[in-house]
Amino acid sequence: MTMATQEHVSREFGTVEENDLRLDAEKSEQVIDALNQDLADTYVLYHQVKKHHWNVEGAEFRDIHLFLGEAAEHLEEGADELAERAQALGGTPISGPAAQEEHASIEYEGQDVYDIRTSLEHDLEMYGDVIESARDHIELAENLGDHATAQILREMLVQVEEDAHHVEHYLADDTLVMD
């Protein structure tokens, strides 16, 4: 006996359904768009940080390797929060590499491997862009009356800024021994 299967799209990407959070669809759509950009940016940064975690070499290998692994975990946890919030607001979170690239406001450094100082400089630049975007989206959410999304973004911003600050410390002049 074979079972008939029927594919049915539950929610088309880009559409916004009514939500039980009592944020109207027009406001939800603006917040979901911002969350999807943040989600894409977070994944781009995640993949770059993870790449550096895998490829780090040098005098401070162990400490930087462990830190980058933790930083990647923080980004992955943040991405999950962003996706769940977009879904709760009646939207569809982006998924997959093509969608991440399309929606991201930042650009992945590519497949080449750089020395760790250069890699961390690239990460710090990207962290800065993510921080600025998060601040803008906190303000957007507040202005639209979505205080919960603003709070979620604030909590993520604290962690992103903390990790960026650690990267900054690794880049201090007396570290990462230079030839």
Q: How many helices (H) and strands (E) does the chain have?
A: 5, 0
Residue 165 inside a domain? The answer is yes
The model's pLDDT over 55-66, given as tens digits with 9 standing for 90+, comes to 999 888 999 999
Residue 179 inside a domain? The answer is no
Residue 33 inside a domain? The answer is yes
User: What integer pLDDT is reported at residue 124 of this predicted model?
Assistant: 97
The model's pLDDT over 68-113, given as tens digits with 9 standing for 90+, comes to 999 999 999 999 999 999 999 999 999 999 999 999 999 999 999 9
Residue 14 inside a domain? The answer is no
| CATH for 87 | 1.20.1260.10
- Between 129 and 23, name the one with better pLDDT: 129
Are 36 and 86 spatial neighbours (Cβ–Cβ below 8 Å)? yes
User: What integer pLDDT is reported at residue 18 of this predicted model?
Assistant: 74
For residue 79, give its domain range: 25-170
Are 163 and 53 spatial neighbours (Cβ–Cβ below 8 Å)? no
For residue 125, name the pLDDT band (cuts at 50, 70, 90): very high
Q: Which of 72, 28, 175, 29 is nearest to 116 (CA)?
A: 175
Residue 19 inside a domain? The answer is no
Residue 13 inside a domain? The answer is no
Asked if pLDDT for residue 123 goes beyond 80, the answer is: yes
Residue 18 inside a domain? The answer is no
Q: How many domains does the chain have?
A: 1
